[in-house]
Amino acid sequence: MAKIRRAKSLQKFASIHASIYNHFNQDRHLNRRDIFKQNRSAALAEWRQLAA
């Protein structure tokens, strides 16, 4: 992030990064492994559909 020189560029990067991070952050410590894997797979499938 040190190469981002303008506040507007930093704000744009941060908002995009936050939305992607929130999509994939599943709070592993709060769920059992099998539920965590299901949620992660669903998030990845949705991401692939959006990116296609």
Q: What span, in angstroms and rounded, lies between the C-alpha atoms of 32 and 27?
A: 10
Q: Which of 29, 23, 32 is CA-nearest to residue 50?
A: 23
Is pLDDT of 1 > 60?
no
Q: What is the pLDDT of residue 2?
A: 64
Residues in the chain: 52
Question: Could you give the residue ranges of the DSSP H alpha helices within 1-52?
Answer: 7-24, 33-51
- pLDDT tens, position by position, 4-45: 778 888 888 888 888 888 878 878 788 888 988 998 899 899
pTM: 0.60
What DSSP character marks residue 30? G
Mean pLDDT of 44-51: 89
Q: What is the pLDDT of residue 38?
A: 92
